[in-house]
Amino acid sequence: MAQYIADRRDIDFVLFEQLEADKLCEHEKYAEFNKKTFDLLINEARNYAVKEVLPTLTEGDRAGGAIFDNGKVTVPECYQKPYKLLVEGEWVGMTEDPEVGGQGFPLTIGQAVIEYIIGANFAFAAYGYAGHGTAKMIEIFGTDKQKELYLKKLYSAEWGGTMVLTEPEAGSDVGNLSTTATPNDDGTYNISGNKIFITGAEQDLTPNVIHPVLARIEGAPKGTKGISLFIVPKIWVNDDGSLGEPNDVVCTGIEHKMGLKGSSTCSLTFGGQGKCKGVLLGEVNKGMQVMFHMMNEARLLVGTIGACNASAAYLYAVNYAKERIQGRDLDDMFNHDAAPVPIIKHPDVRRMLLWMKAHVDGMRSLCYYGANMFDKIKLETDETQKEYYQGIIEILTPIIKSYCTDRGFQVCGEAIQCYGGYGYTQEFPVEQIMRDSKINSIYEGTNGIQAMDLLGRKMGMKKGAYFINLLSEIGKIVAQAKQNPALDQDASKLEEAVTRLSEIAMHLGSTAASGKIKEAFSFATPFQEVMGDVVMGWMLLWRAVIAAPKLDKIVGGKDAAEVAAKNKEAAFYLSQLKTAEYFINSILPGTIGKMNAIGATNDAVVSTPEACFMG
């Protein structure tokens, strides 16, 4: 049976062969679980996603998406039943501790659940999952009373949650916001201002929505140093947890978007009638520090969404390529009596499919690896080792967010290309997946901002130690691969790319330090891209290191391709070797070429006069 969201065999490979997630059960925190428990959970998530969520993908898009009328938003009717099941299944908070409403599963396993549910339809899933980040901020920074009132409702997705930063004149420049907070005698604050681009801020799925709102208290310092964060419920929550009066939070409209039409992207007015109240979350003027906890979680989630879109698009494309009959095999190109063949027989289609597969496989490993780092941080007792893991995450966060969303979108484009003209029509789902995917590179800080963060902040953390530690992790896999004659050459080529990446990182650092900061940062995005390619090579070679001995055991000295034609496990393991071989030999040489261009640091981007940008 064809798969349409994610390859379950590949998920199992990443979880239990690459990351050995079942070993998490050896720790007391996860002792109640085992591999069978994890398998059952993922099976349930897959069944729910395929049977209940996936059918809403096209229906929600074609039905006109979310509809705004007189301050209210109606979501597609097909969302109602699966949302109730999302709440009943406790899917959103499954990795949180039971005392706050979760089920206590590892984040690594939760990644597989997210891949199925969000991969089936993020426009739908966002209504529930957005509240997870809201709850996490309250759990970390909230008072006991705030936790009591909000955590379980948000982690269960019974209430929705948002992230309220952007204003018409303050997008990425959050410090320029104008929303105000005026203290009241009872400890609350009156909130007044306008916000835009707020996902899921108004909908008819939940009885309440909890808004974490950035605002400035009168007299606070300018810029981000003077921003505080407030919990502002759509419906006021009484001290006993019951719902009170509407809180003067009004949706003034929703955006008409390229994709994710079922997800309401709202404009909000707070305090239009002077009756909007909020309570401080965390400390005064420390709102951005609190919000960054949510934003980092969101950035990793958005990277996962990009990978999910790519996975679905690739699976649709490969299934289509196996079924679509067109053209003769090149071996029979001059035989006009030859029967037409499935397009997967054509070399250029195979090139597109292997390019897609390489990126889908690598991105899945990378996103799961990120989740696994968080599990290791949670379980680690040695502070030095904990900081080591945290450093890896700090470096990889902008890569996961930017690379997976950029390449995710490109994979969707290649999927459309595989379909030919049909891919550009609504007859097949890949055009919608591509439309839905584009926002990911814009969400939670555009990818250009991620590149500036990587180059300007992350690379220099701990005097470069975090970056060096990442290179060390890659080096461990290179060393293992060199012990296998089948992988030795690929390992050496990846090692060459790693060495060049290190040189380019030092070059950009010294360029910026020499006063040519604009020249250096004009190459921030290219640097982020080449670093992402190297990380992909690492993940794919790691896969091959695991797969090679298992393939040898199955093949037993016979021709691997012949055995793979009849044995699914042999085919799977062989695909790991061939995918790594393709990426390292066909993609990484171009990456090194891009590194050489960065090393030249041509200043055309900076030196071109504005008058030359004619329009």
> What residues does each domain of the chain span?
8-65+75-156, 160-286, 461-605
Using CA atoms, how far apart are residues 195 and 214, in angstroms rounded to an integer? 10
Share of the chain above pLDDT 70, in %: 99
pLDDT reading at 171 higher than 70? no
494-503 in b/e form (b: 16+ CB < 10 A) is: bbebbebbee
**Integer Cα distance of 536 and 357 in angstroms:** 12
Q: How far apart are CA 375 and CA 111, in angstroms?
A: 11
Please tell me the total number of residues recorded for the chain in this structure: 615
**Rounded to whole angstroms, how far apart are CA atoms 61 and 72?**
19
Q: Dump pLDDT digits (tens) for 523-570.
A: 999 999 999 999 999 999 999 999 999 999 999 999 999 999 999 999
State the DSSP H helix or E strand holding residue 181, giving kind and residue range, or none if neither: strand 180-183
Angle value at C-alpha 173, between 169 and 433, nearest 5 degrees: 85
* Rounded distance between C-alpha atoms, residue 339 and residue 519, angstroms: 57
pLDDT digits (tens, 9 = 90+) for 412-423: 999 999 999 999
Query: Among 216, 349, 317, 204, which Cα is nearest to 270's?
Result: 216
- Please check the confidence at residue 302 and state whether its pLDDT lies above 70: yes
Q: What's the number of CA atoms in the CB half-sphere (13 Å) around residue 291?
A: 27
Helix (H) or strand (E) holding 216: strand 209-217
What residue has token string 């003027």? Answer: 285
SS3 label, residue 137 = helix
Catalytic residue set: 444
What are the backbone dihedrals phi and psi of residue 23, each rounded to the nearest 5 degrees, phi first?
-70, -15
The predicted-structure confidence for 145-170, as pLDDT tens digits, reads as follows 999 999 999 999 999 999 998 888 76
Interval 87-103 mean pLDDT: 94
The residues pairing with 190 across neighbouring beta strands, listed in sequence order, are 182, 277
Span 269-280, average pLDDT: 96
For residue 174, pLDDT beyond 70: no
CATH (one of 1.20.120.1200, 1.20.120.530, 3.40.50.720, 1.10.540.10) for 8-65+75-156: 1.10.540.10
Q: Does residue 172 carry a pLDDT above 70?
A: no
Tell me the pLDDT tens digit for each residue of 115-146: 999 999 999 999 999 999 999 999 999 999 99
pLDDT at 176: 75
**Which pLDDT value is given to residue 298?**
85
Say whether pLDDT at 429 is over 80. Answer: yes
Report the pLDDT averaged over residues 303-328.
96
What's the pLDDT at 170? 66
Question: What is the rounded average pLDDT for all residues in the chain?
Answer: 95
Phi, psi (degrees; rounded to nearest 5) at 324: -75, 115
- What per-residue confidence (pLDDT) applies to 175? 64
pLDDT at 173: 64
Q: How far apart are CA 244 and CA 279, in angstroms?
A: 15
Assign 180 to helix, strand or coil. Answer: strand
- Dihedral angle sign, alpha carbons of residues 417, 418, 424, 430: negative
CATH number of 160-286: 2.40.110.20
Calculate mean pLDDT across residues 496-500.
98
> What is the separation of C-alpha 511 from the centre of its chain, rounded to a whole number of angstroms?
31
What integer is the mean pLDDT of 229-241?
97
pLDDT score, position 294: 74
What is the per-residue pLDDT across 365-375, written as a single tens digit (0 to 9) for each? 999 999 999 99
- pLDDT, mean of residues 472-479: 98
